[in-house]
Amino acid sequence: MTGERVTDVPVVSLAGVDKDFALPGGATMTALTGIDLDLRRGEFVSLIGPSGCGKSTLLRLIGDLTQPSAGVVTVNGKPAPQARLDRDYGMVFQAPVLFDWRTVEENVRLPLELTGQERTARDARVAEMLELVELPDFARHYPYQLSGGMQQRVAIARALTFSPAILLMDEPFGALDEMTRERMNSEVLRIWEQTGITVVFVTHSIPEAVFLSSRVVVMSARPGRITRIVEVDLPRPRGVETRESRRYFEMVTQVREALRSGEGSGTSDDSLASIERAEAEGLTG
Amino acid sequence: MKRAFAILRHNAPAIIVLVGGIALWEAVIRGLAIRAFILPAPSSIARALGENWTTGYQILPAAQATLQEAGGGLIAGALLGLAVAFAVARYPSARDIVLPVGIAVNAIPIVAFAPLANQWFGSQSVYSKMAISAALVFFPIMINVLRGLTSVNASSLELMRSYAGSEMAVLTKVRIPNALPFFLTGLKIGTTLSLIGAVVGEYFGGLNVALGRVVVESASTLSFEVTWAAIAVVSAVGIVMYLAVLAAERVLIPWHPSVRGERVA
Ligand SMILES: Nc1ncnc2c1ncn2[C@@H]1O[C@H](COP(=O)(O)OP(=O)(O)OP(=O)(O)O)[C@@H](O)[C@H]1O
Ligand SMILES: [Mg+2]
C-alpha cells in the first residue's frame, strides 16, 4: 500500500495463530493469541511491544523454531517447517550466537557449508558478505577479538550469506550505543535496499522501528496480541534528514501512542483492540 | 631471540623457585649431615643418574620402556573414553546405565589390580602395564568428552536448526568442536595417570628394564640415590607429556580462554 517494491502475494502469513506454553504444574501460559499478519514481499516490518508480549515467540513461529498451538503459519507459500528445511529465511538472534572456535569468515561460511556449496564460490560469497558489513579486515579474527557490535554484524553477514528470501532479526542492536545503533540501522537499510529481501525486525526502540520500517506492528502483552499496525510513509532512501523531519517525529508519536493505548492505561482509540483485550481478560481471568 | 627472552621472563619465577629449592635442599642435606637413605643430596642423585644412564640400572632405556607403556595406555584409554562418550552422547538412554556404572568402577582403586593385570597379560608383557594405564585414563577422558559433547549452547543448536542442519552437521560443527577443549583437559589429567599406571604395574614385575623396576630394585639394595634418580626421570617424563598436550592445545584451540589467556605476558 505504501507503494514500495512490494507485491500482493504474502511472503509470510500467520492466520489465527495462538501459542500456549505448558507450565510446570499443568497450567498453560498464553504467549500469543489471535495473530493474523500478512507480510508482503520486500517489506520491512518491525515488531514492537512491551517485554514478554511474544515478539521473539512470533519470530520463532515464523522460523519453525517453535510450533503454533492453533492456526497456520505460511512462509514463502509453504508451511513454515518446509520453508525452514528449504532454508528460506535467515535468523539473527538477539545474542550473536557465533561459534567461538570459528574465525569470522568461518562463522559467515557456516550456512554455505550446510548447503554444500562449492568451495571457490563459497569463499567469494563470504568475502562479499564481509565487505557488506564492513569487516573484511577481521576475516581471520576469532569472535572474542571483536566488539559486541562487530559480532552482531558478523551474525548479520552469516544470515545473509545464502541469500535467504526472508531475514528475521530479534533485537539485533539491543546492546549497542545510540551512535553505533544508528550506523547499524543505516547498514541494514542499505542491505535491504541492495538485496530486496523481506525483513521482520524485533525492537524495543520506537525511533528505530519508525526509521527502518514500511510497517510497524504494535503488540501488547498478557496475552500477546497485535493491537495496531502503523504504516510508515516516510520517503526512501532514508538518512540523517529523515531522523530530523517532522513527519518522522509524528510517526514516532503515533507509534508511541499506539503502544500506550495497547497497555490499557490510557483511553484506547482502537476499539477493536479494546474489545479483544476485554475478551482475552475474560478468558484468562 | 626476542621471543625466547619473553618466554624466559615469563617463566622466571618458576625457574627461580625450582633452582632455589634444589640449592636449599643441597644446603640442608650438607649442613645437617642427613644420611642418604633418608634423603640424598641433589648432587649425589645427579651423580647416580649419570652413572646409571645407560649402564648399571640403565635408566635411559628404562625410561623409554616406561614411556612406551604409559603412552600406549594413554592412547588406548583415550580411544576407549572417546568411544564410550560418543556412544553415550548419541544414545542418551545409555547414559543412565553407563554413568552410574562408570562412576562405581572409577571408585575402585584400579592400581590394586596391577598384580592381576600381570597375571592376565603376562608379567613380562608391556600390555599388562598399558591395561592399567588405560583403565586409569579412561574415566577422566570419558567424563570430560561427554560433558563437552552435551554441554552445547541451546542457542547454537537453535541456530543449526534454523539452517536445517542435519544431526551429523550438529555433531561435526558444534558438538565435536565444543568437546575438544574438554578432551584436552581429560588428556592432561590422563598423562599423569598413565604414568602412575605404568610405574605401579612395573612394581609388580615386568620388563627388567623399566623405571618402576629401577625404583623397586634400587630401593631393595639400599641404593637410594638411584631410586631418587628414577623418580626424577619419571617426573620429567610426566612433565614432557603434559607439555606436549599444552603445545597441542595452542595449535588446536587457540580461541579458548585457557590458551589465549596464556599469551598475556
Ligand atoms: N519456552 C518457553 N516456555 C514457557 N514460556 C515461554 C517460553 N518462551 C517464551 N515464553 C513466555 O512467552 C512470553 C513471550 O515471550 P517472548 O520471548 O516471545 O517475549 P518478547 O516479546 O520477545 O519479550 P522481550 O522483549 O523481553 O524479548 C513470555 O511471557 C515468556 O515467559
Ligand atoms: Mg524477545
CB atoms B164 and A97 under 8 Å? no
Q: Is the CB of A166 under 6 A from ligand 1?
A: no
Collapsing DSSP states into helix, strand and coil, what is residue A56? helix
> Minimal Cα–Cα distance from A89 to chain B, Å?
8
- The grid coordinates listed for A49 are 511491544
A55 CA from centroid of ligand 2 (Å)? 6
CA dist B198 and B179 (Å) reads 27
Q: Across the A/B interface, how many CB contacts are shorter than 8 Å?
A: 54
CA dist B22 and B24 (Å) reads 5
CB atoms A101 and B255 under 8 Å? yes
A73-84 tens-digit pLDDT:
999 989 999 999
CA dist A104 and A131 (Å) reads 12
> Minimal Cα–Cα distance from A214 to chain B, Å?
25
What is the rounded average pLDDT of the residues A192-208?
A: 91
CA dist B86 and B231 (Å) reads 37
- pTM value is 0.84
A213-228 tens-digit pLDDT:
999 999 998 889 999 9
B3-38 tens-digit pLDDT:
778 878 888 888 899 999 999 999 998 888 888 778
By alpha-carbon position, which residue is closest to atom 31 of ligand 1? Answer: A52
Residue of B nearest to A87 (CA): B163
What is the rounded average pLDDT of the residues A10-29?
A: 91
More confidently predicted of A61 and B99: A61
Chosen from B152, B155, B157, B159 to mutate, greatest number of chain A CBs within 10 A:
B159
- In whole numbers, what is the pLDDT of chain A averaged over residues? 86
> Minimal Cα–Cα distance from B166 to chain A, Å?
8
CB atoms B162 and A84 under 8 Å? yes
Q: Is the CB of A57 under 6 A from ligand 1?
A: yes
Tell me which residue has cell 550505543.
A177
Residue A265 has pLDDT above 70, yes or no: no
Give CA torsion, residues B66, B79, B133, B52, to 10 deg: 10
- Burial status of residue A172 (CB atoms within 10 A of its CB: 0-12, 13-18, 19 or more): buried
Tell me which residue has cell 570419558.
B142
pLDDT of residue A55: 94
What is the rounded average pLDDT of the residues A144-154?
A: 90
Instruction: Count the neighbouring beta carbons within 10 Å of the beta carbon of residue B214.
Output: 29
Asked if the peptide bond before residue A223 counts as cis, ω within 30 degrees of 0, the response is yes
Ligand in nearest proximity to the CA of A60: 1
Tell me which residue has cell 497450567.
A27
CB atoms A97 and B254 under 8 Å? no
- Residue B31 CB contacts under 8 Å (≥ 6 apart), including other chains: none
Q: Highest mean pLDDT: which of A100-114, A182-196, B100-114, B206-220?
A: A100-114
- The grid coordinates listed for A282 are 475474560
Q: Is the CB of A61 under 6 A from ligand 1?
A: no
Residue A283 has pLDDT above 50, yes or no: no
CB atoms A84 and B254 under 8 Å? no
Beta bridge partners of A15: A72
B170 CA from centroid of ligand 2 (Å)? 25
Residue A147 has pLDDT above 50, yes or no: yes
CB atoms A111 and B169 under 8 Å? no
A20-30 tens-digit pLDDT:
999 888 888 99
Smallest Cβ–Cβ distance between A65 and the set B162, B255, B260 belongs to B162
Ramachandran assignment for A222, one of left (phi > 0), alpha (psi -120 to 50 degrees), beta (any other) = left
pLDDT bin (cut points 50, 70, 90) of residue A46 is very high
- Residue A136 CB contacts under 8 Å (≥ 6 apart), including other chains: A127, A130
Q: Is the CB of A51 under 6 A from ligand 1?
A: yes
Q: What domains are there in chain B, each with its CATH number?
A: 54-260 (1.10.3720.10)
Q: pLDDT above 70 covers what percent of chain A? A: 89
Answer for the pair A135, A153: CB distance below 8 angstroms, yes or no: yes
Letter string b/e over residues A218-243, b meaning 16 or more CB atoms within 10 A of that residue's CB: bbbbbbbbbbbebebebeeebeeebb
CA dist A141 and A147 (Å) reads 11
Instruction: Count the neighbouring beta carbons within 10 Å of the beta carbon of residue B19.
Output: 10
pLDDT bin (cut points 50, 70, 90) of residue A275 is very low
pLDDT of residue A155: 92
Residue A9 has pLDDT above 80, yes or no: no
Q: Residues of B with CB below 8 A from A86's CB?
A: 164
Instruction: Count the neighbouring beta carbons within 10 Å of the beta carbon of residue A81.
Output: 13
Question: Which portions of chain B are predicted below pLDDT 50?
Answer: 264-265
Distance set, CA A16 to CA A36, A61, A263, B183 (Å): 5, 13, 22, 49
B205-241 tens-digit pLDDT:
776 788 999 999 998 998 899 999 999 999 999 999 9
pLDDT bin (cut points 50, 70, 90) of residue A279 is very low
Q: Is the CB of A22 under 6 A from ligand 1?
A: no
CA dist B140 and B33 (Å) reads 44
pLDDT of residue A264: 55
- Nearest in space to B90 (alpha carbons), one of B145, B18, B23: B145
Residue A274 has pLDDT above 50, yes or no: no
CA dist B178 and B2 (Å) reads 34
pLDDT of residue A5: 52
By alpha-carbon position, which residue is closest to atom 7 of ligand 1? Answer: A21
- Nearest in space to A197 (alpha carbons), one of A45, A83, A56, A1: A45
- The grid coordinates listed for A147 are 566488539
Q: Residues of B with CB below 8 A from A144's CB?
A: 255, 257, 260
A52 CA from centroid of ligand 2 (Å)? 7
pLDDT of residue A272: 45
Residue A182 has φ and ψ, to the nearest 5°, of -65, -40
Pocket mutation for ligand 1, best pick of A33, A57, A168, A205 (most atoms within 8 Å of C-beta): A57
